[in-house]
Amino acid sequence: MNLRTRLALLLALGALLSGCGAAPDPGPGSGPGGEKPFWRAEFGGAAGTRPPERSWNTEIGNRDAEGWGNNELQYYTDDPANSALDGDGHLLISARPAPAGSELPCYTRKFCPWTSARLTTEGKVALTQGRVEVRAKLPTGTGLLPAIWMLGDNGVEWPGQGEIDICEVVGGEPRTVYGTAHGPTYFNEHGIGGSTTLPADASRAFHTYAVDKRPHRITWSVDGKPYFTLTPKKLPAARDWVFEEDLHLLLNVAVGGDWPGPPDASTPSPATMTVDYVRFYGEGQA
């Protein structure tokens, strides 16, 4: 075997190993069954620019939101340090320790020790029936809770509006992905859902997290592999199904709170969710 042949084999082996456990990038083409997205975000733009306001809202604060319902420790900002494009086709949502001397009001203490970002498509983009896909790397570590999720646009207060957690990766469980639904009589620790295990830490590779929302049925999947399906028959009462109307998308990285617990010295900083794309298929508003 000559030197050129050996080099080619080594390069091919390196490429294979570096992609182990990662979902391949399907590119900008069709979804399952050749379906075309009715809305997509691919995040092209200069590094440091904010995601476009025509599609994304940025939520701010902590104290007035009562710790975002979970006694969380991050103050959400619109600072590019917390949410911005990276110049390579990705959206970055980063949790970071709050700058020295900042006095960001917190619900569980006087000032929030962390900053982060929470983006939503409320009032701009929504899914009626169909599929939502988000290809992303999720940060992992003690005290972190990155989430890709949806809330109902039916005008009812939570939990009656309905919530679909497309994926959450909590604290010290870096390979476990949770998908959960919350509604009028099944919320917080009583939410109904399932989980699946990734081949490696969720922060190491891109994966495609998705829900397929059809009449009276929601199916969760990772990298095209379904792992849980919810129907009204699985609820405490079938009348509590609240997922037939529009839902909008949310992306955020939370720090601390009731589920992941507090961060510690091992918690990565920044802790960044890297979003490659978001795609909505089926019927909805955009």
Considering only CA atoms, which of 90, 65, 106, 24 is closest in space to residue 276?
A: 90
Give me the pLDDT at residue 14, please: 42
Count how many domains the chain has: 1
Give me the pLDDT at residue 18, please: 40
Give me the pLDDT at residue 5, please: 39
Give me the pLDDT at residue 30, please: 60
Residue 26 lies in a domain: no
Contact indicator for 280, 211 with CB cutoff of 8 Å: no
- Residues marked as catalytic: 163, 168
Please, which residues bridge with residue 192 across strands?
A: 181
Instruction: Measure the CA–CA gap between 156 and 144, rounded to whole angstroms.
Output: 29
Contact indicator for 35, 103 with CB cutoff of 8 Å: no
Residue 97 lies in a domain: yes
Structural domain harbouring 116 = 43-285
The CATH number that applies at residue 138 is 2.60.120.200
Residue 241 lies in a domain: yes
What one-character-per-residue DSSP string does 110-167 give? SB-SEEE-EEE-TTT-EEEEEEEEEEEE---STTEEEEEEEEE-SSPPTTTT-EEEEE
Please, which residues bridge with residue 23 across strands?
A: none
Contact indicator for 95, 62 with CB cutoff of 8 Å: no
Which tens digit of pLDDT belongs to each residue from 104-125? 999 999 999 999 999 999 999 9
Please, which residues bridge with residue 212 across strands?
A: 131, 219
Instruction: Measure the CA–CA gap between 263 and 114, rounded to whole angstroms.
Output: 10
Residues of the chain with pLDDT under 50: 1-20
Which tens digit of pLDDT belongs to each residue from 57-69? 999 999 999 999 9
Residue 32 lies in a domain: no
Give Cα 233 distance to the centre of its chain.
27
Residue 185 lies in a domain: yes
Residue 9 lies in a domain: no
Contact indicator for 76, 250 with CB cutoff of 8 Å: no
Give me the pLDDT at residue 17, please: 38
Give me the pLDDT at residue 87, please: 98
Give me the pLDDT at residue 26, please: 56
Give me the pLDDT at residue 189, please: 95
Residue 197 lies in a domain: yes
Please, which residues bridge with residue 62 across strands?
A: none
Residue 165 lies in a domain: yes
Considering only CA atoms, which of 83, 180, 165 is closest in space to residue 132?
A: 165
Q: Which two tokens stand for residue 237?
A: 């009462």
